[in-house]
Every structure is written in structure tokens, then in C-alpha cells.
Amino acid sequence: MARRLDYSARYPLHTTKEVYAALTNRDYWEARMVEMRKYSPNEVVSIDASDNGIDVVLHHILPREMLPEVAQTVMRKDMVITRKESYGPFGPEVEGKYSASIPAGPGSLTGTIRLFPTDTGCTLRLSSEAKVFVPMMGPRLEQLMLVNLVDLFRAEAEVTQKWLDDRKL
């Protein structure tokens, strides 16, 4: 059985146009990776931005010894997570999707993304679904994935806020 989580990153005083422009900028993605490298090796594999939308591929590498014991029982080497994000073309609201996959991993992580205006700025909402196909341990691992996902999304939102604020001066 899958577990779900919604996370909203709110950007007061910033428009959807500003956030979308950041998402099209490789320097923005590199700034996010600099922050994420404080925790583990991460890299921008590719970014393709056009009038049709944005496609981004990231690698998050979690050394096996950093994984919780319950995850180490399943993963025998470093965990390489390939994260793909895609956003539709810019408009009043932007919809997208993301996925995170681990080769020979015991589950999946997928979600939708929605960027929309608010009275004070805009919000980027991520709706995630974690599925782990390991009997008995599945629910614990799914919950662990989602808890860590909140921390990741929060850190990314802080980088985004700083990125936007630095460019508005």
C-alpha cells in the first residue's frame, strides 16, 4: 500500500513568473546542488528549458553508511537516486511531475507539481506517493522516505527563497 504526502513551498512577494524563470536557469539548479552537497554527493545531470516546458535530471547519491539500518538491510551499496522533474509551459498555473528511481530499488517515488499564484506571491505544491515492495518492511520504509522527503523539500525551498530574494534586490 502506498503512502502519500503533500508539501507546499510558499514564496511570498515572488510571482509564478519569477519562480518559473529560476526553474529554467541552470545556475539556480547548481545553487540547489551546492546546498544538497552539504549532506551527500549530488549533481545536475541535465536541464532542458524551452517554450514547451522544463525537463531536469538530478542525481542524489546517498552513501550506504548514511542510510538507516532498516534501509541498509535492503541496499547493499550506495544509493544512487535519479530524480526527474518536468514542468509544462509557463502559464497562470504550471503543472508538472517528478519521479525518483533507484536501480534495482525496492520501490518507487512519484509525484505531481503545481505552481500557482496566491494573494501574497505564489506556491509550489508537491504531491508525492511512495511505494515499497518489501513485505513487512514496506510501510516503515515508505514512511521513512516521506519524512526525509519533507526535509529535502524544505531545504530546496529555502535555497529557492534565497535565490529569488538575491535577484530581487
Q: What's the whole-number mean pLDDT along residues 40-60?
A: 94
| Structure confidence at residue 18 (pLDDT) | 97
**Mean pLDDT to the nearest integer, 111-127:** 97
**CATH number for the domain that contains residue 41:** 3.30.530.20
pLDDT in tens, 65-95: 777 776 677 667 777 889 999 999 999 999 9
C-beta of residue 115 within 8 angstroms of C-beta of residue 98 = no
Q: Is the pLDDT of residue 154 over 70?
A: yes
- pLDDT grade for 56, boundaries at 50, 70 and 90: very high
Average per-residue pLDDT in the chain?
89
**Domain of 44?**
3-166
- Helix (H) or strand (E) holding 23, with range, is helix 16-23
Number of domains in the chain: 1
pTM for the whole structure? 0.87
